[in-house]
Amino acid sequence: MVNAKHLATFIMGAAAGVALHKYLQTEEGEKALNDLKAKANDLKGQAEEAIDKAPEYFDKLQTEAAEALKEKFPEVEKFLQDLIKGNRPSATEVKP
């Protein structure tokens, strides 16, 4: 059911669309549209660059995390290797 509120909203939206179309036909509107396109291309380039760098970043993050774990918890490497091999460490081997 279409009521007056829906009809008014549709008319306002259509009027805004017509006004925007007329604005974009002006020199100022074309400049604004070109600026918007340039900004979108810049953002696209930045996103593509970030995607290209992501694997390198995560490799570095993984290496640094492993080094930090070894430094702060030297026994964790043996614990994880034993766990992977299926050896269950005893309660005395696990240090809080």
pLDDT of residue 23: 92
| Residue 51 belongs to a domain | yes
| Residue 90 belongs to a domain | no
Q: Which domain holds residue 33?
A: 4-85
| Residue 11 belongs to a domain | yes
Contacts 24+ apart (CB under 8 A), 72-80: none
| Residue 95 belongs to a domain | no
Alpha helices (runs of H) in the chain, residue ranges in sequence order = 4-24, 27-72, 76-85
Average pLDDT for consecutive 10-residue bins of the chain (96 residues)?
87 95 93 95 95 93 87 80 74 50
pLDDT of residue 66: 83
pLDDT of residue 85: 84
| Residue 96 belongs to a domain | no
| Residue 76 belongs to a domain | yes
pLDDT of residue 89: 57
The structural domain count of the chain equals 1
**Which positions ≥6 away from 32 have C-beta within 8 Å?**
24
| Residue 94 belongs to a domain | no
| Residue 56 belongs to a domain | yes
